[in-house]
Structure 1
Amino acid sequence: MPPKEAGEPIGVVATSFTFDAAFFEEECLASFLGLETNPTDDGPAYLIEREDKLARLQCASVLVDVHHCRGTRSLRWDLLPARLPGIQHAKVCLLVWSNQVRVMIGSANLTEDGYRRNLEVFGVLDYHVGSKMPVECLLQTTNFLRRAISYSVTDTPAAPRWYKLLDRVEEDCSSWGTMAADRKRAPVQVETLFVEPAGESGFDQLKRIWPAGVGPKTADIVSPFFDPPESKNAPVDEVWRLLRQRGEVTAGYHVASEECSGWEELGHHRWSLQAPDSLRRTPRSSAVVEFNQVLLPDARPLHAKGIWLQDDRYAVYQIGSSNFTSAGMGIGKRSNLEANLVYVLDGKRDERLLKAVEATFPKSESVDPDEVNWQPKANDEDAESLSQIALPAFFGDAVFSLDTAGDGAITLHFAGGNCEPFVLLIEGTDKIWFDSSCLEASQSSITQTLPWTKTRPPSGFEVRLGDRDALAWWPVNVESSNSLPPPDELKDLPLDVLLNLLGSSRPLHRVMADYLAKQIKSDHDETATAIDPHKRVDTSDFLLQRTRRLSWALTKMRLRVERPTATIETLNWRLYGPVGVFALAEAIAREATTSAESAFLLAELALELSRADVVATTGCVDVSIHRNEISKLNDKLRSLLKDDAGDSEPANLRAYVESVFDEVIQ
């Protein structure tokens, strides 16, 4: 949810392991954009508002592990698959408004379970002018997101949009916070901890972050998953190495559990812990291991991950996506991509703050390990245990675009090499759209561009590999926002409707909802027309009447166009969107009863645009760029003038129109 003074939405990039496209679009993006409508109750109004607000974003993109990168969606936002030796397991959201940037790093996937059902943990850092948040965390997060997208298709047109948003954050927002030198005596420090293939392990980073000369006395670990029982369980040894090597030290594990029914009568163990008994291993007699069952409120499944380290003065709390596994902490053969925040607390400076943060650690109760039945939960977040079919690397990028005639096309990029026979199915159907035999027969085995004749662009293709029953998913992204056709409700709107939209101060979706409701009832009341003789007089041909009706709308349009905007995408939407200036010009050219009327009204439109007074505003599109885009639009308006008008236009009118366009196009 945007904070009060956040400003207008600019963009969002996020990463997730499992993913629910409908939840992200209808809940997460809707909150970020501040949508007033919803798909269940508002139908076309929701589609219009979503289109209107998504089109203004610089970027909306999600990077998802290739095993879970699927889902029907609007092509106004990008969906990118990540392929790793391990898995893409990081959960990062970077939310950008014109006056605020929010970094969210936690344990929750972008799913309804992650945000509404599981016991999860989030760390949130809000950056704005005067913020006390650490700048280093912001820049380290943007750098991590740059590296993260390198595990996806790098030549996709979605990648520049991802980078462009990160560039904006690094250039415009790097002063929104404090540097380490200014926080030396602060009672809490925050650092990032990222785990990557061939990178520094999570344990080595914790050792480096620990503020004291000797290691911590205690370590408390909460995790739903661990290395399998038959493994060495290397993270156990790493924890003991992380703790101080002399004196008594304690490692406590906080895990999900169930009480076994009838345990007293049947002589069974009392508790069934979702953990392997290899956690009991200790290196020496002065090392103590404890087990605790997490008290799960409302029977919520445990999905939070955390490590709490402490001595007599300091505490270090790691929260995020890393399970207590070799892959999650970056010490195995296959390292995941993980993201965590680490809070460093000084109890000597602020003991109350330390206790307040400690209270966020999941509540638990001690259990006797001798009364435990060890039943670790099957790790469905492990690369070797994933049952979903991943899209092979042979399938590169699928891109929707429009050709010069405005017809849709999809370009399929293949990485080359060998691949088993496959077919591409149109989403939601069993209809084959393309197959490997077509690829083999073509002259170009790497790239195929095929026409797309259906109204709505596909959000992806289901891929059947060989004779397998399960289907992989090949997401489609758009070449540019200009390649997307508007919703049917916004196509080729009549001039009267556009005048009402431009002349109204109400949001687009509200005005359109009223218009659509009237269309359902009737376009006009025939009875009233028959009774009132004045209504039988059609004045639509009168140039003066048209000009009067247009003048107010043109003034409102100019004010809308000249208003500073945080993104070039918003400006393009105002100029070229389905309710933008060029749509109004096309409606004038289409509906004018004479070429003279069309030429005169287009000249008035160009003249009004030339009066736009763009004011320089911090964080908004540069004034010179803004004005240049308006000038380029005026050039396109001139192209709508009919060349074959001939003598049908009065000479003085033709001269006036030419003089207007000569003046406004410099």
Structure 2
Amino acid sequence: MGRRRKAEEQPLSEYWKPPADSNLKDGVGEAVACVATTFEFDAGFFEAELLPRFLGLRFDHTENERTFIIEREEALATTRVGVLVDVAKFDPRQTTLQWDQLPIQVPKGIQHAKLTLLVWERLARLIVSSANLTRRGYRRNRELFAALDFFDGPDSAPLRLLRDALDFIDTLCGWSRALPATTQRIRETAEQVRTRVRRWSNSPQDFRPRERPRVGLIVGHPATASGSARSVLSQVMQMWLPRRVVELTVMTPFVGQQSNGEDVVLDGMRNLPMARDAKGWLIVPEAPASESAERRIVSMPWRFGQCWKKRFRENSRVVLVPPYIEEVDERPRDLHAKAILIQGDHHDLLMIGSSNFTPHGMGVGAFNCEANLVFEDWAGAKQEGLALEDRLGLPVPWDSAVGVDEVAWQEPDQAP
């Protein structure tokens, strides 16, 4: 595995700004539309920190707040903006009706996807992440995200990804509890974006069959009125098989409850061909412990640890990420990132996004609405100097991993 690397990427909020180095002849143009999905939501943070970046506004402390708000309202008057949030997390502190907030009520699940689509006149950006639209998600937690840009040129990301994201937004609208006119505005916005990108004749439509690296959007949701449920795990399995697994890494802050001594998500991966000495890396948050504690603590069921050990035997390893790491962190940061990395003999696959390693998150007998990006590349290949395993941004060394029985497993709160 790769060595410890301190991420040097820009903060996630900076990706809401129109790119200054787009290399487009006339720039990206004015803001056109923004549609975002989230589980938890902070309307004040959205209005004060994210919307102004997207709209290209800058708060000058020499002017008063009223002037800034007027500028924001004028910009919103010509821009379509909507946030699709889980019905239980709707934030009534919204201060303006110039943008829409849609409560989404998912049957027997939650709206857990964290997908953002930012559209300017000549460029669209898709952000898929583990971070909620909150200050905690954007400023404190350890999160993972990826941003893809689409434009009318051969270097654009393939447009199929953008169309898949728009289709997912349409699916979520089917569970909207907003007024019909509000929901219709979001549907119309999605259709307007489709119409815009149809004119981008120089953009690639999709990846070639054996092209690497490549990326795809994997979404999960319950059955709809017109279609069946979509399982995140089933889609990942379909992409990987029939290759064998040499190493499997799971990064997750939550796991599900075990039944009859088995973890249903791990059991759902039983058809993955495993190398005889396949390694299993479990990357999880370290829970606070007293100075007298003999073992480090993981807030996950003991039975899950035993299931992990059963699957990988002596090659099962646990990487604990503490809230505070000297020389890395300025303040405590909770691990909230979610990822699955599968490494084979000749092929690697990395999924990042909103899916926890739980039945609802992975779509094993239960379904949240989830959104993830899956990256595929040849084994060990590097893009911009980084292999897929480096994209995890692990803030502790891999060789700090310990055995399953070397940590104390502590029953957690209910996981999403």
Report the AA paired with residue 249 of structure 2: D
Q: Does 1:312 align with 2:345?
A: yes
Which of 289, 296, 302 aligns to 2:316? It is 289
User: Which residue of the partner structure matches residue 19 of structure 2?
Assistant: 3
Q: Does 1:321 align with 2:354?
A: yes
Report 1:474-489 matches (<5 A): none
Q: Structure 2: give runs of 5+ residues left out of the alignment.
A: 1-16, 21-26, 224-228
CA contact (8 A) 1:345 1:354 kept: no
C-alpha displacement at 1:88, in angstroms? 0.4
CA distance in 1, matches of 2:52, 2:286: 36
User: Which residue of the partner structure matches residue 149 of structure 1?
Assistant: 173
CA contact (8 A) 1:247 1:286 kept: no
Distance of aligned partners of 1:126 and 1:356 in 2 relative to their CA distance in 1, 3 Å threshold? same
Deviations 1:405-426 (A, max 9, x none): xxxxxxxxxxxxxxxxxxxxxx
Q: Does 1:207 align with 2:237?
A: yes
Greater shift after overlay, 155-164 or 94-103?
155-164
CA contact (8 A) 1:316 1:343 kept: yes
Distance of aligned partners of 1:309 and 1:38 in 2 relative to their CA distance in 1, 3 Å threshold? same
Deviations 1:499-528 (A, max 9, x none): xxxxxxxxxxxxxxxxxxxxxxxxxxxxxx
User: Which residue of the partner structure matches residue 389 of structure 2?
Assistant: 358
C-alpha displacement at 1:216, in angstroms? 2.1
Report the AA paired with residue 3 of structure 1: P
CA distance in 2, matches of 1:38, 1:325: 45
Q: How many residues align?
A: 371
For residue 133 of structure 2, give the secondary structure of its aligned residue in structure 1: coil
Deviations 1:229-279 (A, max 9, x none): 67853112123x25315623232210011474444xxxx542111222223
User: Which residue of the partner structure matches residue 10 of structure 2?
Assistant: none
For residue 2 of structure 1, give the secondary structure of its aligned residue in structure 2: coil
For residue 359 of structure 1, give the secondary structure of its aligned residue in structure 2: helix
Which of 253, 273, 280 aligns to 2:306? It is 280
CA contact (8 A) 1:295 1:362 kept: no
User: Which residue of the partner structure matches residue 50 of structure 1?
Assistant: 72
Deviations 1:152-188 (A, max 9, x none): 137521122211221122122144632335x345331
Report the AA paired with residue 214 of structure 2: Q
Q: Does 1:300 align with 2:333?
A: yes
More helix by share: 1
CA distance in 2, matches of 1:213, 1:279: 27
CA contact (8 A) 1:308 1:315 kept: yes
Report 1:386-465 matches (<5 A): none
Distance of aligned partners of 1:39 and 1:285 in 2 relative to their CA distance in 1, 3 Å threshold? closer
Q: TM-score with structure 1 length normalisation?
A: 0.53
CA distance in 2, matches of 1:371, 1:285: 15
For residue 387 of structure 2, give the secondary structure of its aligned residue in structure 1: helix
Distance of aligned partners of 1:96 and 1:173 in 2 relative to their CA distance in 1, 3 Å threshold? same
CA distance in 1, matches of 2:37, 2:312: 43
RMSD over aligned CA atoms reads 2.5
CA contact (8 A) 2:141 2:335 kept: yes
Report 1:3-402 matches (<5 A): 3-4=19-20, 5-37=27-59, 42-57=64-79, 59-72=80-93, 73-84=95-106, 85-130=108-153, 131-153=155-177, 156-174=180-198, 175=200, 177-180=203-206, 183-198=208-223, 199-210=229-240, 213-228=242-257, 232-239=262-269, 241-245=270-274, 247-258=276-287, 260-263=289-292, 268-277=293-302, 278-281=304-307, 288-294=315-321, 297-298=328-329, 299-333=332-366, 335-347=367-379, 350-351=381-382, 355-363=386-394, 364=396, 365-379=400-414, 382=416
CA contact (8 A) 1:101 1:127 kept: yes
CA distance in 2, matches of 1:376, 1:38: 48
CA distance in 2, matches of 1:309, 1:260: 32
C-alpha displacement at 1:7, in angstroms? 0.7
CA contact (8 A) 1:260 1:269 kept: no
CA contact (8 A) 2:316 2:403 kept: no
Q: In percent, how many aligned pairs have the same letter?
A: 33
C-alpha displacement at 1:64, in angstroms? 0.5
Q: TM-score with structure 2 length normalisation?
A: 0.82
CA distance in 2, matches of 1:74, 1:124: 28
For residue 180 of structure 1, give the secondary structure of its aligned residue in structure 2: coil
Q: Structure 1: give runs of 5+ residues left out of the alignment.
A: 383-666
Greater shift after overlay, 290-299 or 129-138?
290-299
CA contact (8 A) 2:124 2:151 kept: yes
CA contact (8 A) 2:246 2:275 kept: no
Report the AA paired with residue 175 of structure 2: Y
CA contact (8 A) 2:278 2:312 kept: no
User: Which residue of the partner structure matches residue 602 of structure 1?
Assistant: none
CA contact (8 A) 1:227 1:326 kept: yes
Distance of aligned partners of 1:16 and 1:24 in 2 relative to their CA distance in 1, 3 Å threshold? same
Deviations 1:24-53 (A, max 9, x none): 011110111112337996222122111111
CA contact (8 A) 2:85 2:103 kept: yes
Deviations 1:420-461 (A, max 9, x none): xxxxxxxxxxxxxxxxxxxxxxxxxxxxxxxxxxxxxxxxxx
For residue 67 of structure 1, give the secondary structure of its aligned residue in structure 2: helix
For residue 90 of structure 1, give the secondary structure of its aligned residue in structure 2: coil
Structure 1 or 2, whichever has the larger Rg, is 1
CA distance in 2, matches of 1:41, 1:301: 36
For residue 248 of structure 1, give the secondary structure of its aligned residue in structure 2: strand
C-alpha displacement at 1:358, in angstroms? 1.8
CA distance in 2, matches of 1:154, 1:219: 41
Report the AA paired with residue 50 of structure 1: R
Higher relative contact order (CA 8 A, sep 6+): 2
For residue 217 of structure 1, give the secondary structure of its aligned residue in structure 2: strand
Distance of aligned partners of 1:362 and 1:294 in 2 relative to their CA distance in 1, 3 Å threshold? farther
Report the AA paired with residue 94 of structure 1: L
CA distance in 2, matches of 1:375, 1:41: 52
Report the AA paired with residue 189 of structure 2: L
CA contact (8 A) 1:219 1:243 kept: no
